[in-house]
Amino acid sequence: MAYPALFKRRDTTPVRCGNVIVGGKNPVSIQTMTKCDTRDVASTVEEIRRAVDYGAQLVRVAVVDQEAARAIESIKQKVACPIVADIHFDYKLALVSLEAGADKVRVNPGNLGGKEPLLKVAKKAMEKGAAIRLGINSGSLEKDILEAHGAPTPQAMVESARRHLRYLEDAGVDNIVLSLKSSSVKDTIEAYMLMAEFTKWPFHIGITEAGPGEHGIIKSAAGIGTLLALGLGDTVRVSLTGPSYKEVQVAKEILQSVGLASYGPDIISCPTCGRTQVDVVSIARQVADALQGITVPLKVAVMGCPVNGPGEAREADIGVACGRDGGILFARGKVLGRVSSQEIVPALVKLAREYAQSPEGKN
């Protein structure tokens, strides 16, 4: 079997969601969803602004009733990013959200009530120049599809997506984003891989209900990272049992770690072992903290000994290969000289700041 070409982005039709275009040649965008009650406009605006400060490009809000749908109008007046209305069960909430200015609606075809309500929402979205996301979720597939497949398998998710996509395409809807999410990493990857055979609409990717803390982060990184490697993602949402800004931080880390984006310093530090002679853990942490405000791409290597240290440090933009009581500093592949243990952190931070200000850093 020939392995697929990695990171060869799938060819997709660009879809406008307010001032963000998803798909086509556009960079993979980051989105999140607010956790507070959308009817509380002040809290929602505060949460959205924080998420945007962290790097969110689109933000979704839960629309639980008409009041929440109408609140989108006030929210939109106070934030610049596109707002996505998250709709379940009641299609009329999507219509009100679109009237209130939502840039995109996410509907779950499994609980919206069939073809007619879906088409009413899609027609309104077209009228308003908004996008529609068909958000297939393994937990809410239609009864007949579930019965036919016996379980919410990737094939069942794809069948549901194709059925509803056909309704939209037959009606001439032309601003569609798709997602096929499951809390199983394996099923999610398989569903997107299968679906990619049938459509050119962009994919919103993520692992649904990934869970709390490290567990959710690792699951999301495994699933989203794999999909990105396969070229199957146009916009990303990390779902964590935690604050929305944290979801954005994790999404950025995933995109940066697979080389699809660069948001600032990339700290390469060795795991340490019995050869380590300085406190690499503390040095790496202090350097990472000190460089937090820097937004230019910059590789900083902090290595514990002369085994791999000089090689990694030389390959990075700046680095240190530690040894007994100090280390050798490197910048742009060249040895700068030896520093004592106490001088390592200030010296790396100074070099990083200088690099960020240099023409290379600004490029």
Quickly list DSSP for 88-125: -S-HHHHHHHHHTT-SEEEE-HHHHTSHHHHHHHHHHH
Beta carbons of 340 and 329 less than 8 angstroms apart: no
- Select from 66-74, 93-101, 145-153, 267-275 the region that touches ligand SF4 (CB under 6 A): 267-275
**Residue reference for tokens 């230019």:** 296
Should residue 28 be labelled a site residue for ligand SF4 when binding is judged by CB under 6 A?
A: no
Rounded CA-CA distance 110/94 in Å is 15
Should residue 278 be labelled a site residue for ligand SF4 when binding is judged by CB under 6 A?
A: no
- Select from 73-81, 94-102, 228-236, 269-277 the region that touches ligand SF4 (CB under 6 A): 269-277
Should residue 276 be labelled a site residue for ligand SF4 when binding is judged by CB under 6 A?
A: yes
Shortest reach from residue 333's CB to ligand SF4, in Å? 18
The length of the chain is 363
- CB nearer to ligand SF4: give 85 or 305: 305
Beta carbons of 313 and 303 less than 8 angstroms apart: yes
Should residue 304 be labelled a site residue for ligand SF4 when binding is judged by CB under 6 A?
A: yes
**Residue reference for tokens 């509380």:** 40
Shortest reach from residue 351's CB to ligand SF4, in Å? 20
Rounded CA-CA distance 257/234 in Å is 16
Cβ-proximal residues to 222 (8 Å cutoff; 6+ apart), any chain: 185, 207
- According to CB under 6 A, which one of 270, 298, 331, 344 is a site residue for ligand SF4? 270
Should residue 166 be labelled a site residue for ligand SF4 when binding is judged by CB under 6 A?
A: no
Should residue 308 be labelled a site residue for ligand SF4 when binding is judged by CB under 6 A?
A: yes
Should residue 275 be labelled a site residue for ligand SF4 when binding is judged by CB under 6 A?
A: yes
Cα angle, residue 126 at apex, residues 71 and 108 outer, rounded to 5°: 65
Quickly list DSSP for 128-159: HT-EEEEEEEGGG--HHHHHHHSS--HHHHHH
Per-residue contact flags (x/-) with ligand SF4 for residues 227 to 266, judged by CB under 6 A = ----------------------------------------
Should residue 307 be labelled a site residue for ligand SF4 when binding is judged by CB under 6 A?
A: yes
Should residue 331 be labelled a site residue for ligand SF4 when binding is judged by CB under 6 A?
A: no
Interface ranges with ligand SF4 (CB under 6 A): 270-273, 275-276, 303-305, 307-309
